[in-house]
Amino acid sequence: MFRNVDAFKEAYLERLVNMHGKGVEETTPSDQYATLGAMVREYVSRNWITTNDQYRDKGEKQVYYLSMEFLLGKLLKSNLMNLGIRELCEQGLDELGIDLDRIEEQEPDAGLGNGGLGRLAADFLDSMASLRLPGHGCGIRYKYGLFEQKIIDGYQVEIPDYWLREGNVWELRKSDKAVEVRFGGRITSHEKNDQLTFVHEDYEPVLAVPYDMPIVGYRNQTVNSLRLWSAESAIKDFDFNQMNDHNYHRLIEYKKATEAISEFLYPDDSTEEGKRLRLKQQYFLVSANLQSILCRFKRMNNDLSELPNKVAIHTNDTHPVLAIPELMRLLMDQEGLGWDEAWSITKKTISYTNHTLMAEALERWSVDLMQALLPRIYMIIDEINERFCKTLWETYPGQWEKIHHMAIIADGYVNMANLAVVGSYSVNGVSKLHSNILKKELMKPFYEWEPHKFNNKTNGITHRRWLMYANPDLTSVITEAIGSTWLKNPSDLMNLQPLTNDPSLQQATAYVKRHNKERLSNHIADQYGISVDPDSIFDVQIKRMHAYKRQLLNVFHIMDLYRRIKENPKSRITPRTFIFGGKAAPSYHLAKSVVKLIHTIADVINNDQSINDQIKVVFIRNYGVSDSERIIPASDISEQISTASKEASGTGNMKFMMNGAVTIGTHDGANIEMAEAVGEDNIFLFGLKPNEVLSYYENGGYHAREMYNQDPRLKQILDQLMNGTFVKEDVDFKSIYYSLIDHDEFFVLKDFSAYIDTQQRIAKAYGDQKEWRRMSLHNIAHSGKFSSDRTIHEYASGIWQLEPVFI
Ligand code: 26V
């Protein structure tokens, strides 16, 4: 059906009419999307089957990437492009009077993730398939993705995101592969032939049903899988008919509780009452996948000691780390192995990535909760802990504090990061700086205990989605300049390096940027009624709202700039458009008041005629993957200004770099490696160094109030939060004010002055357009290293021992 344009048109028309039962003219763009999606899914199914067959026949090692989040965004365009059939479809549809861009717009973003961690998982899937690696995603099919952000009166309001409303064209329900996951109940032990066996009784069964989505490699035959599990009642509906009232009610309750497991993605601030459900989700993910992985393995192997040679199980953060006790449980209780053998296999099979050093984000589960919900799993964790502490004791006799710190269970809690390190063979951080801090601070005793486990895998992004597909015009310009090898081998972007001073190339890239900015300006005018000048500097900070990411620093720069313009009505600056976007976790009050603050200052500044449109402030509501694809190609300045040591890596920073934006950033996460790649002259780094920040945390010595007293600019800005300059309604920003004056945990005031200076340097640099264009090209040239193809290559050879399979 995709052989040639005519064959496509014929097949498409027939499908369109048959699928929707109406004449072509009456079909809606959403109908047209559903039809094209279904055709593409069908088209890949042959290669999907072949890929699976070959993986089985060749018996190559497989990696399973376990993640609570996959922030996929839209898939139609990337699938068409990876398959190499988009042009054909575009032409065919065009001849039918249908606009492909418009169809692609119809697809809802699959928002099954919070932010960086979830999007990284999605980029990794793309890279694994494109590098022909047998790697699969394993996740949960949430009925509702991350909440939709509405802005009412400048305040964030959360609405459920029912992304499955119109169905999901990419998925295939595999009822025959469903497995049972068990919660609650009690464990009894029995002796049988000299062996202790454990029996789980009175548990609550939940049926886990997999939905598979194809992951299409770039211009190869590989089609990997993303398997998302849905929770359903394990009791057949017809049983309901023969019930009395009491049982019927209990069954309804059971059904509701069961389905709740895959109902919602948790925003990263889960409250107490939500915790139980979150733990249920984690075990559901882990148990369903491990049963299915083991079942597949056993179809081809009967020697379980071969498992680590055939299967790698990767845990994306600690969320799926129950995979360790669950694999132990399956190997012992189901397969009959003894503890030592099961433990040796488990430790050689599981690897773990840490994604944050933020103490609040390190997972701990109360023993009571875990014992009640997962009695057998808890027993196993307890035993792992006992044995581990015993060996620690032998090495560090008498060092109670150290052992207490390293214990998996302590003070009534299970420490998931400790379990992850003890039960895996590889622990990695996501940037050089982050991995070093892991070794030297957070996991120091573990590093001293088992140094060989620790390694770094600096994050990356898929250059296909983030450059080739999001920025097709820049892609053409690059290909015209250096040929097309970089498409498959992104490090070849370096071939741009000798051309960064080439006037015609500079002109071509500037033209593309200007065009992208114009498109974004139109979108902003259309959606927000704000007119922004495409010739202004587009200065962009898009990411989750969080104190450590310091959107406040950016806001304070805007307030300061506004003051300067008002005080010097005759001077003119190069106009700037400040663009923000990001969701605040629903119960994160401080982050939510920053959303309100941005809207408040935007309202004042955008409506102040006296400043002649020199600054505009735009907040993109409900920011998600599709927004970033539109915004990043249109950006001049990329704001990566987290408190040094706090951002594990960042990945947005790499996306901007690849699209020719210039970074203003702190010495944090992957910014440091970006600076190493481009040289300090081609990036604007400022502020405290990670060691300075860590030393303040450790030794004190920072007094925020002094900053306020010493710097009149800061004093004025902070006072304005309280005195009504910006605030016309009955709101104030007391909580922001006091969080800074009293404590300033994230050194906003401390870095303010350096930030303002650097913003001035960057404004000056922008004034020299020739130099700016060179710098922009220089950044693109050095961005290939940050392709997730490089990252995944390192995971495959350094952690998973995985070989490509040619389909
Ligand atoms: C979660 C939470 C939850 C409780 C409140 C504080 C807090 C702070 C951070 C997080 C993030 C958890 C894990 C995460 O998403 N990490 C991100 O992973 C990205 C991919 O490796 C990385 O680029 C980001 O720097 C990192 O924040």
Q: Which of 178-187, 230-239, 497-506 has the lowest mean pLDDT?
A: 230-239
Pocket test for ligand 1, best of 65, 271, 355 (most atoms within 8 A of CB): 355
pLDDT tens for each residue of 425-476 = 999 999 999 999 999 999 999 999 999 999 999 999 999 999 999 999 999 9
Q: Is 118 in the pocket of ligand 1 (CB under 6 A)?
A: no
What does the DSSP 8-state code read for residue 153? T
- How far apart are alpha carbons 509 and 772 in whole angstroms? 11
Question: Is a pLDDT exceeding 70 seen at residue 730?
Answer: no
Q: Which pLDDT value is given to residue 195?
A: 84
Q: What is the pLDDT of residue 1?
A: 87
Distance, CA 117 to ligand 1 centroid (Å)? 7
Q: Which pLDDT score is estimated for 790? A: 98
pLDDT of residue 652: 98
Residue 241's pLDDT is: 65
Longest dimension (CA), the chain: 93
490 lines ligand 1 (CB under 6 A): no
CB of residue 69 inside a 6 A radius of ligand 1: no
Ligand 1 pocket test target in 119, 124, 268 with most atoms within 8 Å of CB = 268
Class assignment of domain 58-73+109-459+793-800? alpha beta
Q: Where are the beta strands (DSSP E) in 412-493?
A: 413-415, 426-429, 454-456
pLDDT at 268: 76
Note the pLDDT tens digit of each residue in 252-286.
899 999 999 999 999 876 666 688 999 999 999 99
pLDDT at 238 over 60: no
* Top CATH class, 463-786: alpha beta
Q: What is the pLDDT of residue 237?
A: 64
Residue-wise pLDDT for 491-511, tens only, equals: 999 999 999 999 999 999 999
Give the mean model confidence (pLDDT) for residues 188-215. Answer: 94
Per-residue pLDDT of 128-138, as tens digits, reads: 999 999 999 99
Rounded mean pLDDT, 379-385: 98
SS (H, E, C) 312-329: EEEEECCCCCCHHHHHHH
Q: Which protein residue has the closest C-alpha to ligand 1 atom 7?
A: 361
Mean pLDDT of 542-556: 98
Would you say the CATH fold of 463-786 matches that of 58-73+109-459+793-800?
yes
CA distance 458 to 465: 19
Query: What was the pLDDT predicted at 194?
Result: 82
What atom of ligand 1 comes closest to residue 269's alpha carbon?
4
How many angstroms is it from 763 CA to the middle of ligand 1? 31
**Quick one: average pLDDT of 330-345?**
97
Domain boundaries, the chain: 58-73+109-459+793-800, 463-786
Q: What angle do CA 17, 19, 23 make, to 5 degrees?
A: 25
User: Which atom of ligand 1 is found nearest the CA of 548?
Assistant: 8
Spatial distance between the Cα atoms of 288 and 596, rounded to a whole number of angstroms:
42
Ligand 1 near 359 CB (within 6 A): no
Task: Tell whether ligand 1 has an atom less than 6 A from the beta carbon of residue 115.
Answer: yes
Q: Which two tokens stand for residue 461?
A: 């992004």
Q: pLDDT digits over 519-530, tens only?
A: 999 999 999 999
Band (242; pLDDT cuts 50, 70, 90): low
Is the CB–ligand 1 distance for residue 647 below 6 Å?
Answer: yes
Residue reference for tokens 């806001």:
555
Mean confidence (pLDDT) of the chain: 96
> 185 CA distance to ligand 1 centroid (A)?
34
Just list the catalytic residues.
Answer: 355, 543-544, 549, 651, 655
Is there an atom of ligand 1 within 6 Å of 648 CB? yes
pLDDT of residue 729: 64
- Distance between CA atoms of residues 278 and 259, nearest Å: 13
DSSP annotation string for 12-30? HHHHHHHHHTS-GGG--HH
Q: CB count, 10 Å around CB of 632?
A: 25
What percent of the chain has pLDDT above 70? Answer: 98
Rounded to whole angstroms, the Cα distance separating 643 from 754 reads: 13
Ligand 1 centroid–CA 41 distance in Å is: 33
Q: At what angle do helices 86-95 and 76-83 cross, to 10 degrees?
A: 110
Distance 354 CA to ligand 1 centre (A): 9
Render pLDDT for 656-700 as a digit per residue (tens, 0 to 9).
999 999 999 999 999 999 999 999 999 999 999 999 999 999 999
Q: Specify the pLDDT at position 239.
A: 63
Cα 399 to Cα 403: distance, rounded to the nearest angstrom: 6
Pairing of strands 62-66, 186-192: unpaired
| pLDDT beyond 90 at 725 | no
Quote the CA–CA distance of 717 and 719 in Å, as a whole number: 5
For residue 69, pLDDT beyond 90? yes
